[in-house]
Chain A
């Protein structure tokens, strides 16, 4: 690293104000930075990489050579959010997740939101994510999404938006925890200087949430993983270990006499709560995909009878589907009688003729996404695409308009990262993790993802994105 001079920034940067000034919440960090030299920071970066390799924090990237494990790039310059700003985000994501849980309960029961005309019926029932097997099934606490990840971004003016909700099996929380541990190991002096809100209690909050989702006290909780070939296997093992619960695969569980049991060396043991990191389609080969080797035959029958709890519930995907996303603000008004604290990104639904027309006329400026897509696959980023890519995408869009939504290309805020030449701004997002048990809670901050390539707007780790530690900073001096 040659220079520690701050770069000029174009859009909204989290640290650097226009004219190369430093935003207030970064003052302490910047003072510290001025006393560092490039070589020692580079040494710390390499140390972090080595340590991450040692604990095995890697990520399988689909589409590359099978089984390729890659280290998710970690940047040591923290993303800082002032506590006052965080409070609003916290209230915003809690409000959103509460509304989404009420929505899921409603559409799997009375469907008031449809009957009262706020959401077209075919949007819900024609959606493959609506699971008929969940209709009229009662869940304890009426909680469907115990663990939610809400992806937040800021535009070029610094305004916050919800980019998407993740109510199925959101991942990334292990990086949030490990990034903090790494930063505290590398730079303990930074944490002595200022009050950074802790995140290390996430596993105990998660365990509490899972226990609260059971029908009786002292339940047996397990974590069901698809296995070590899954891209997030590290996280599954990490969370199970942190919570002190069993990490199991489908073949470790079986169904008998209306209950789910786990095979153990001491015989079989009844299981009450399954924190499952296996998608709906693979949960039970007798009810969903019959070729699934990842699930537990018979699981759905036990679940429907209320004799085991799944976190998250089956069928939450209908709440976070991109075709449902445009209706979340209406859900907040409908169920909570509140105004949304966090805004949606304006979204055109290509299934609507007039909106499709607008999208087709403005493809080079828009981001177009598959409604059921995830992980940054199958999308078009208009401004970054070649003419050929756009024309190719136009054909796909015309062949199946219902399958797409479009949004304006938001510039996304940047945060500086360390690169070999020095310091440079890169685009980021934020995924806070919301836990819904007896109450709805969020660990301060979340996972900040960084697009490591200059100008790149896709932050997904499957697309080569990296991560940063996220600090929610109390603005008073430590005692």
Chain B
């Protein structure tokens, strides 16, 4: 399936920002599953291309002239294949992903949740866990924010993909299973749905397997992967630090469409 992506992020500031630096994880890495046919970024300045510790493509953007807005936009065309091609890269030990972070640190309730489906084989257990999480915290935007950790979100009983993923990661890691956070884009016919998405991958039998809790799917057929990490903080598309600027307002629009050329096939 061919997908066309448009994603724009705009920051506006109530006062002038003297200096800002951002890490952008807005460029997908090609793999057997995802072919990048074209990818362009439109940024206020040239950004330095680098990579991070999880082998994500990273752009470092420094703005050292006073500014009151930052506009970042990307557009691209990709092809998602149905190929199984599970990622089996082990240059970074999967055991790293058994580590808890501030966002995934479990409390008593999450530990109880993690151990709830004991007795089932691992795969079935994780699927049951994924179902339990979604029914315990139905998809509801606006209740949690990017700083919410897994325990808080679970206690609140609502969440978005980021919260579902953090709760799922907390449980997997509590069971000693390496699990990582994935950020990316999702194609959905239901245009109401957010196109920026997050899901989880669990290391089993020598490769990474998808668990999209929010959509209750194991098949990443409509998923374009941007970045992976221990949690949202590692994989988020934009992470920045600024000096000055006062109050920030953010407008982000992401659009994923099925490209016409593939629709005709």
Q: Is there contact, CB below 8 Å, between B64 and A301?
A: no
Which of B53, B96, B243 neighbours the largest number of chain A CB atoms within 10 Å of its CB?
B53
Distance between Cα atoms of A135 and B60 in the complex (Å): 20
Out of B21, B53, B98, name the residue touching A254 (CB < 8 Å): B21
- In the complex, what's the smallest C-beta–C-beta distance from B47 to chain A, in angstroms? 10
How many residues from B make CB contacts under 8 Å with A? 26
Q: In the assembly, what is the distance between CA of A125 and CA of B230, in Å?
A: 13
B60 and A255 contacting across the interface, CB-CB below 8 Å: yes
Bound Cα distance from A298 to B24, whole angstroms: 11
Q: In the complex, A304→B48 CA distance in Å?
A: 13
**Contact between chains at A125 and B21 (CB < 8 Å):** no
Surface stretch bound by A, among B72-80, B158-166, B233-241: B233-241
Given the known inter-chain contacts A121-B95, A122-B95, please indicate yes or no for A256 contacting B50, CB distance below 8 A.
no
Assess A126 versus B95: contact at CB under 8 Å? Given A301-B48, A305-B50.
yes
**Knowing A134-B53, A285-B241 touch, does A301 contact B96 (C-beta < 8 A)?**
no
Q: Which single member of B50, B64, B92 contacts A304 (CB below 8 Å)?
A: B50
Verify A125–B95 contact, CB threshold 8 A. yes
Chain A residues within 8 Å of B241, by CB: 285-286, 290, 297
**B98 and A122: CB pair below 8 A?**
yes
Candidates B23, B54, B243; contact of A286 at CB < 8 Å? B23
Distance in angstroms between the alpha carbons of A130 and B93 in the assembled complex? 11
With contacts A257-B48, A286-B22, A286-B240 known, is A301 near B92, CB below 8 A?
A: no
Task: Please indicate which of the listed interface residues A124, A136, A298, A304 has the most CB atoms of chain B within 10 Å of its own CB.
Answer: A298
Q: Which of chain B's residues 82-107 have a Cβ closer than 8 Å to chain A?
A: 91-93, 95-96, 98-99
> How far is B263's CA from A351's CA once the two chains are assembled, in angstroms?
57
Q: Across the interface, which residues of B come within 8 angstroms of A134, CB to CB?
A: 53
Q: Is A336 an interface residue (CB 8 A)?
A: no
Q: Is the CB of B53 within 8 A of A255?
A: no
Number of chain A residues whose Cβ lies closer than 8 Å to a Cβ of chain B: 30
In the complex, A128 has a CB within 8 A of chain B: yes
Other-chain residue from A254, A300, A304 in contact with B19 (beta carbon distance below 8 A):
A254
- CB pair A298 B23 closer than 8 Å: yes
Contact of B62 with A by CB under 8 A: yes
Interface presence of B112 (CB below 8 A): no
Complexed CA–CA distance, A251 and B99 (Å):
31
* Contact (Cβ within 8 A) A298 B60: yes
With both beta carbons as reference points, the residue of chain B lying nearest to A293 in the complex is identified as B241
Shortest distance from the beta carbon of A346 to any chain B beta carbon, whole Å:
28
* Interface set, chain A 229-260, CB cutoff 8 A to B: 251, 254-258
Whether A71 is near chain B, meaning CB under 8 Å from some CB there, is no
Decide yes or no whether A33 CB sits under 8 A from chain B: no
Decide yes or no: A256 and B233 within 8 Å by CB, A121-B93, A286-B241, A287-B23 being known contacts.
Answer: no
User: With an 8 A cutoff between CB atoms, is B52 at the interface?
Assistant: yes
Collect the chain B residues with CB atoms within 8 Å of residue A301's CB.
23, 48, 50, 52, 58, 60
Q: Is A385 an interface residue (CB 8 A)?
A: no
The distance in angstroms between the C-alpha atoms of A257 and B51, with both chains bound, is 14
Complex interface bits, A95-136 against B, C-beta within 8 A gives 1, otherwise 0: 000000000000000010000000001101110101111111
User: Quick one: CB contact mask for B204-247 with A, threshold 8 Å, 1 for yes?
Assistant: 00000000000000000000000000000100000111010000
Which residues from chain A contact B99 at a C-beta distance below 8 Å?
A: 126, 128
A279-293: which have CB < 8 Å to B?
Answer: 285-287, 290
User: In the complex, how many angstroms separate the beta carbon of B75 from the nearest chain A beta carbon?
Assistant: 24
The residue from B52, B54, B96, B233 contacting A125, defined by CB atoms under 8 A apart = B96
B95 A290 Cβ-Cβ under 8 A: no
Name the A residues within 8 Å of B92 (CB-CB). Answer: 132, 135
Query: Do A297 and B52 have beta carbons less than 8 Å apart?
Result: no
Interface contact A136-B62, CB-CB below 8 Å: no
Q: B50: nearest residue on chain A (CB-CB)?
A: A301
Shortest CB distance B94–A (Å): 8
Instruction: Assess whether B53 is in contact with A133, with CB atoms less than 8 Å apart.
Output: yes
The residue from B58, B60, B62, B239 contacting A290, defined by CB atoms under 8 A apart: B239
* B54 close to A132 (CB less than 8 A): yes
Within 8 A of B (CB), among A249-274: 251, 254-258
Report the bound CA distance from A290 to B236 in whole Å. Answer: 13
Residues of B within 8 A of A111 (CB): 93
Given contacts A132-B53, A286-B22, contact A254 B95 (CB under 8 A): no
**Complexed CA–CA distance, A258 and B46 (Å):** 11
Which residues on B sit within 8 Å (CB–CB) of A126?
Answer: 95-96, 98-99
Minimal Cβ-Cβ distance residue in A for B94: A125
- Asked whether B239 lies within 8 Å of A130 as measured between CB atoms, the reply is no
From known contacts A135-B92, A286-B22, infer whether A304 and B51 are also in contact, taking CB-CB under 8 Å: yes
The residues of B that contact A254 with a CB separation of less than 8 Å are: 19, 21, 62, 64
Interface hits, A62-110 → B, CB 8 Å = none
On whether the beta carbons of A136 and B91 are closer than 8 Å, the reply is: yes
Complex Cα–Cα for A304 and B243 (A): 24
Check if A125 sits within 8 Å of B93, measured CB to CB.
yes
Q: Assuming A256-B62, A286-B239, A297-B241, is B52 touching A133 (CB within 8 A)?
A: yes
Interchain nearest-CB distance for B180 vs A (Å)? 11
- Distance to closest chain B CB from A323 (angstroms): 14
**Which residue of chain A has its CB nearest to the CB of B58?**
A301
User: Which residues from B are CB-within-8-Å of A130?
Assistant: 96
CB distance from B56 to the nearest CB of A (A): 11
CB of A258 within 8 A of CB of B23, answer no
Minimum CB distance partner of B240 in chain A: A286
Distance A128 CA – B98 CA, assembled complex (angstroms): 10
- Chain A residues within 8 Å of B22, by CB: 286
Q: How far apart are the CA atoms of A256 and B19 in the complex, in Å?
A: 11
Residue of B nearest to A122 (CB): B95
Residue from A132, A133, A136, A257 with most neighbouring chain B CB atoms (10 Å) = A132
Q: Which of A121, A134, A251, A257 has the most CB of B within 10 A?
A: A257
- Given A251-B243, A254-B19, A255-B21, 8 other A-B residues pairs in contact with their CB atoms under 8 A: A121-B93, A125-B95, A132-B92, A254-B21, A254-B64, A255-B60, A290-B241, A297-B240
9 A-B pairs whose Cβ atoms sit less than 8 Å apart in the complex:
A126-B99, A132-B54, A133-B52, A135-B91, A255-B60, A258-B50, A286-B239, A298-B62, A301-B50
A-to-B contact residues, CB < 8 Å: 111, 121-122, 124-126, 128, 130-136, 251, 254-258, 285-287, 290, 297-298, 300-301, 304-305
Q: Which 8 A-B pairs have the closest CB atoms?
A: A133-B53, A125-B95, A297-B21, A297-B241, A132-B53, A125-B93, A258-B48, A301-B50
